[in-house]
Amino acid sequence: MKDILKINSIHEIHEFLGFEKPKHPLVSVLRLGDKLQKLEVDNIKYAIDLFQISLKDNCVFTIQNYGRNSYDYQEGTMIFTAPNQILEFKKNQTVKEDKGWTLCFHPDLIRKSELGKRIEDFSFFSYAINEALHLSDDERETVTDIIHKIENELRNNIDAHSQTLIISNIELLLNYCVRFYDRQFYTRSNLNQDTVADFQTFLKQYYKDEKQLELGIPSVQYCGEQMNLSPKYLSDLLKKETGQSTQDHIHHFIIEKAKNRLLNSKDSASEIAYSLGFEYPQYFSKIFKKKTSMSPNEYRQMVN
């Protein structure tokens, strides 16, 4: 069993990396240079109580695939992690210099700010590492310019305006990353369409194999795992391509099957609900009415 190393603060991550005392207790920009080359990271899991935004550039740790496919933007790769996600690293190449950076900030930095209220809207903090953001040269220059502004604030004497300016730049960085992720979804439209088709095939096979009788309705988490994608990423991808989230697709698929059963059998609504994987028939009726504006029995009577 691998050890889990817990890092709770900016001070602790500086200490772990052998850096001098941080300029600010809640935020830091780490430029690792060749330090990662010297770190022993194998067989250790890391639980870091910080938000981390990293640009990998000539790093000793590489990402070889994007989901199940090779990615095309290899000039720079951004990775986002939320507090207390379990991370693992593996050295797989030797480089002379790592030109990337990592922005770390504690949740307390933004807790009372507008950014703190909307940080969960940035769903890429929950993407898996193989769903990283791959940047063009221009995009990399844009995000690095913002990091320079944050570094300048940290180099100056901290005053009453420092925290507001730092948070504003972090929010600007995240907003640009939303734009760049949208571009990435767009440029991979053909691959994404394949994923949409694969997801529909997965749902059909799930019910053909009658897995719902044992496992119930497929959860968003289960679907993501089976598609080799994080649940958040799968939902965002489906939303971009079809306007519907993973949950919407699951419910639509189930309701269509329910309609067929209602019209082609004499089974009760409760029997149909159980056969579709619902633990409680009332929940089935609630979803059916939400999607069709009718109860199952009202639908059966209206169509017949």
Nearest to 130 by CA among 200, 58, 199, 56: 56
> 203, 210 in Cβ contact below 8 A?
no
The band of 85, judged by pLDDT with boundaries at 50, 70 and 90, is confident
Length of the chain: 304
* pLDDT, tens only, 245-288: 999 999 999 999 999 999 999 999 999 999 999 999 999 999 99
Instruction: Tell me the Cα Rg of the chain.
Output: 24
The Cα 162–Cα 167 span in angstroms is 9
Element (H, E) at 179: helix 162-187
Q: Is the pTM of this model over 0.85?
A: no
Round to the nearest angstrom and report the end-to-end CA distance of the chain: 60
Predicted confidence (pLDDT) per residue in 142-192, tens digit:
999 999 999 999 998 888 899 999 999 999 999 999 999 999 998 887 778
Contact status, residue 63 vs residue 74, Cβ threshold 8 Å = no
- CA 11, 14, 16, 20 dihedral sign is negative
Average predicted confidence (pLDDT) for the chain: 87
